[in-house]
Amino acid sequence: MALRKVEMPRLSETMKEGRVVRWLKAVGERVEAGEPLLEIEAEKVTVQVEAPCTGILREILVPEGSVASVGDPLAL
């Protein structure tokens, strides 16, 4: 099965980066496409990011409290 990256989404035209607030799934857990996977904070707003596909969360690349730029991989 191919690995799929979960990337920091662009929530607005001006957004450059976001902070991972909380992971809602742990490494090794199964996730379904569209299921909430993590919460990010950007521009004073906290939003849930959904899993882009069904599969197993293999690795968290950006831990809670860390900042990532738009498009950066957050997890595999």
Domain of 61: which CATH number? Answer: 2.40.50.100
Q: Name the domain count of the chain.
A: 1
Separation CA 52–CA 46 (nearest Å): 19
Q: Residues of the chain with pLDDT > 70: what percent?
A: 99
Within-domain flag for 1: no
Mean pLDDT of 17-46: 97
Full domain range(s) for residue 24: 6-75
Which stretches does DSSP call E strand in the chain? 6-7, 17-23, 30-31, 36-42, 45-50, 55-56, 67-69, 73-75
Within-domain flag for 17: yes
Within-domain flag for 53: yes
* Predicted confidence (pLDDT) at residue 3 exceeds the cutoff of 90: no
Amino acid at 48: Q
End-to-end CA distance of the chain: 12
Mean pLDDT of 34-39: 98
Cα dist from 57 to 4, 13, 46, 47, 68, whole Å: 10, 29, 22, 19, 19
Within-domain flag for 30: yes
* Predicted confidence (pLDDT) at residue 1 exceeds the cutoff of 70: no
